[in-house]
């Protein structure tokens, strides 16, 4: 069987399915090949399940603290089975939604593993795609004018810290734990490591984070890392930075024991389980890149600003091209790629306008340059910082930890970066994102009226603070 298409998308994650929807809106005859489940990592093993668990952890913690709001309850108990059930029902609802979008867009879905066979007489530019169907039926051949590779990424582990069924896991296995451990060692203090540390600590697990670098969340502004270290320690999490984990020392018996070298000394850590969160590797294996001229760098597919690979009719987007491995980046890249192949004139993405978020408790978000990056790039900077402690709504909410920090160019007042720690800052960062897109100055941000009492007032105050004009602090 052979079927012709304007576009075949390899991988139905956030990047792939959004691109397919846009392609169908543009009138392209589109197929999507997905070896697992439509929705990909984000829906089944990433953003959504982890946020569902984080929300349960937050409610558990808040219920324990209800007394401080004048609500007296007996000590809450955790039913982790129900927590997992709730997570799964959210995934199922959204999964149905994505399937519905494919039907609505008349997008053909092939459930199987797709491989690029290389240019052929049928498809001299984009290459035929073979699909190994999950149900074992005869493999169809797809003949596309364009291909979009959106095969995503998989958890990386350290040699020697291989995943097993009992003790060592990555976020993939952790998401489907049926029981919580009493204690855990988390290797890696990046975004995923800190989300898990925060969640598990709120569920009552004893958490140790071992981070190789000298601070957790090393891609965030230094002041954000410092504040988050303080706040995570306040939760009872043990944070060990500058810790070089030695996989060869791992022992597993009724739990794990591992050593890490720190300041020239070996220290031993023990726990019931270990979570390895040391990044993700692009999924480039077995997808047929060797049949093409496509180039990779550090394991990720190389593209231009419209996401064309070396083969101009084969595009690649999302986690498989590396960079900021985020769902909203993948989907935006997918839209740009599809519009470009359809002959539109899309605006390339400016990575300095991409917000990134960490859904720990409290949350972290940022857009643009950190103060250190701005200085490294030669800017003379001025900064404004405002704490949630002086924001009425934060007191009302009972969540006063954190701040907003704005980094601006001293020379022309350009907004260079915004960094937030605190309640609901993953929702509030969109204002800063819009300000970046519109090239607003802190003065303009401050003169957009922030309603009272809202958490968003912290943004107006931080913008005023850039020139020392904040009102409440």
Which positions lie near ligand FAD, rule CB under 6 A?
10-16, 33-36, 40-42, 45-47, 50, 113-114, 150-153, 171, 192, 283, 287, 318-319, 325-328, 330, 359
**392 in a known ligand binding site:** no
Cβ 384 vs Cβ 405: under 8 Å: yes
> Is residue 452 annotated as part of the catalytic site, yes or no?
yes
Residue reference for tokens 């957009």: 448
End-to-end CA distance of the chain: 70
Q: Show the tokens assigned to 233.
A: 């320690």
**189 in a known ligand binding site:** yes
Q: Which is nearer to ligand FAD, 11 or 460 (CB)?
A: 11
Dump the DSSP string for 171-183: HHHHTT-SS--SE
**Whole-angstrom distance, CA of residue 314 vs CA of residue 288:** 12
The least CB distance from residue 65 to ligand FAD, in Å, is 25
Residue reference for tokens 């760098």: 297
The least CB distance from residue 147 to ligand FAD, in Å, is 11
The least CB distance from residue 335 to ligand FAD, in Å, is 12
The least CB distance from residue 395 to ligand FAD, in Å, is 28
Residue among 428, 430, 415 nearest 388 (CA): 428
How many CA within 13 A on the CB side of residue 265? 4
The least CB distance from residue 126 to ligand FAD, in Å, is 15
Q: Show the tokens assigned to 373.
A: 């990056």
Catalytic residue among 95, 313, 332, 452: 452
**242 in a known ligand binding site:** no
Q: Which is nearer to ligand FAD, 171 or 387 (CB)?
A: 171
**Whole-angstrom distance, CA of residue 257 vs CA of residue 247:** 10
Return all residues near 85 (Cβ < 8 A) that are at least 6 apart: none
Residue among 330, 335, 323, 277 nearest 299 (CA): 323
**Which 3 state secondary structure label does DSSP give 432?**
helix
**Whole-angstrom distance, CA of residue 156 vs CA of residue 177:** 19
Return all residues near 147 (Cβ < 8 A) that are at least 6 apart: 7, 8, 9, 10, 116, 126, 127, 129, 313, 314, 315
Cβ 177 vs Cβ 87: under 8 Å: no
The least CB distance from residue 255 to ligand FAD, in Å, is 23
Residue reference for tokens 């009226």: 449
The least CB distance from residue 461 to ligand FAD, in Å, is 27
CA 44 to chain centre: 13
Q: What crossing angle do the helices spanning 14-25 and 80-104 adopt, rounded to 10°?
A: 30
Q: Which is nearer to ligand FAD, 349 or 463 (CB)?
A: 349
Q: Show the tokens assigned to 456.
A: 């968003």
Residue reference for tokens 């073979």: 130
**422 in a known ligand binding site:** no
Q: Which is nearer to ligand FAD, 154 or 241 (CB)?
A: 154
Centre a 10 Å sphere on the Cβ of residue 463 and count the other Cβ atoms it contains: 31
Q: Which is nearer to ligand FAD, 278 or 390 (CB)?
A: 278
**151 in a known ligand binding site:** yes
Q: Which is nearer to ligand FAD, 80 or 443 (CB)?
A: 80
Q: Which is nearer to ligand FAD, 279 or 453 (CB)?
A: 279
**191 in a known ligand binding site:** yes
**Which 3 state secondary structure label does DSSP give 83?**
helix
**152 in a known ligand binding site:** yes
Residues contributing to the annotated binding site for FAD? 51, 114, 151-153, 319
Catalytic positions, please? 452
Residues contributing to the annotated binding site? 51, 114, 151-153, 188-195, 211, 279, 319
Residues contributing to the annotated binding site for NAD(+)? 188-195, 211, 279
């Amino acid at each position: 069987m052979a079927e012709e298409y304007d576009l075949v998308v390899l991988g139905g994650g956030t990047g792939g399915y959004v691109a397919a929807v846009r392609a169908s809106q543009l009138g392209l005859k589109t197929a999507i090949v997905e070896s697992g489940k439509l929705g990909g990592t984000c829906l089944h093993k990433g953003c959504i399940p982890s946020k569902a668990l984080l929300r349960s952890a937050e409610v558990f913690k808040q219920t324990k603290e209800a007394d401080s709001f004048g609500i007296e309850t007996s000590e809450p108990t955790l039913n982790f089975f129900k927590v997992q059930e709730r997570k799964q029902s959210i995934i199922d609802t959204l999964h149905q939604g994505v399937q519905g979008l494919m039907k609505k867009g008349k997008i053909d879905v092939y459930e199987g593993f797709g491989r690029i066979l290389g240019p052929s007489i049928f498809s001299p530019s984009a290459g035929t795609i073979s699909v190994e169907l999950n149900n074992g039926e005869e493999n169809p051949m797809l003949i596309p004018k364009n291909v979009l590779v959106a095969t995503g990424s998989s958890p990386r582990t350290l040699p020697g810290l291989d995943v097993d069924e009992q003790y060592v896991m990555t976020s993939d296995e952790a998401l489907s734990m049926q029981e919580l451990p009493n204690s855990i060692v988390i290797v890696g203090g990046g975004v995923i490591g800190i989300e898990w540390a925060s969640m598990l600590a709120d569920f009552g697990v004893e958490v140790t984070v071992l981070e190789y670098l000298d601070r957790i969340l090393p891609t965030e502004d230094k002041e954000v890392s410092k504040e988050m270290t303080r706040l995570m320690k306040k939760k009872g999490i043990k944070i060990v930075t500058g810790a070089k984990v030695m996989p060869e020392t791992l022992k597993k018996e009724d739990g794990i024991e591992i050593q890490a070298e720190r300041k020239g000394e070996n220290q031993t850590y023990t726990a019931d389980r270990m979570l390895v969160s040391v990044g993700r590797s692009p999924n480039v294996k077995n997808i047929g890149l060797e049949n093409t001229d496509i180039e990779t760098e550090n394991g990720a597919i190389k593209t231009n600003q419209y996401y064309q690979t070396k083969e101009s009719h084969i595009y690649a987007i999302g986690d498989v091209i590396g960079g900021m491995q985020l769902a909203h980046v993948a989907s935006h890249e997918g839209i740009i790629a599809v519009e470009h192949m359809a002959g539109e004139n899309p605006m390339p993405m400016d990575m300095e306008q991409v917000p990134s978020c960490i859904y720990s408790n409290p949350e972290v978000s940022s857009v643009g340059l950190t103060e250190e990056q701005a200085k490294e790039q030669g800017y003379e900077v001025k900064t404004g910082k405002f704490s949630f402690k002086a924001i009425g709504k934060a007191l009302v909410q009972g969540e006063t930890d954190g701040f907003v920090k704005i980094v601006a160019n001293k020379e022309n007042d350009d907004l260079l970066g915004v960094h937030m720690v605190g309640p609901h800052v993953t929702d509030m960062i969109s204002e800063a994102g819009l300000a970046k897109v519109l090239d607003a100055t802190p003065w303009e941000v401050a003169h957009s009226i922030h309603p009272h009492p809202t958490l968003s007032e912290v943004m107006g105050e931080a913008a005023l603070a850039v020139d020392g004009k904040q009102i409440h602090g």
